[in-house]
Amino acid sequence: MGNEKGTTIDEDMLSSLTLFGKLVGKFVEESDLPSQGTGLSKRELEVMKRISWGERTKDMAAAMQISELTINQYVKSSIKKLSAHNRAHAVGLLIRRGILT
């Protein structure tokens, strides 16, 4: 794998960069979820954020290493806590409140 300047990225470098990206993503994910004032848990907020990105339940479950049933429970409890009508309404409320961007 290389770029137009002739620099080559070998498999070890690619693995290191991939790991780095995952660690940065985890850090941002954990620090970028303001839970104060929403009544939602950190995991509920994470699920709502992933919904706002358009992720499917199956993909969320795999990425978060939990079951699809658990994802659906987080969605259901989030909707109830926010007094929303559905997923889209819940995400909209969180965006309007400045919780999700």
H-only helix segments in 6-96: 11-31, 42-52, 57-64, 68-82, 87-96
Tell me the whole-structure pTM to 2 decimals. Answer: 0.64
Asked, for residue 41, whether it belongs to a domain, the answer is: yes
pLDDT of residue 16: 84
Asked, for residue 19, whether it belongs to a domain, the answer is: no
Q: CATH number for the domain including 63?
A: 1.10.10.10
User: What is the tens place of the pLDDT at every residue in 15-46?
Assistant: 888 888 777 766 655 554 455 567 899 999 99
68 is in which domain, residue-wise? Answer: 35-96
pLDDT higher than 60, residue 2 = no
- 12: which 2 tokens? 């070890």
Cβ neighbourhood burial of 23 (10 Å; 0-12, 13-18, 19+): exposed
User: What is the tens place of the pLDDT at every residue in 57-90?
Assistant: 999 999 999 999 999 999 999 999 999 999 999 9
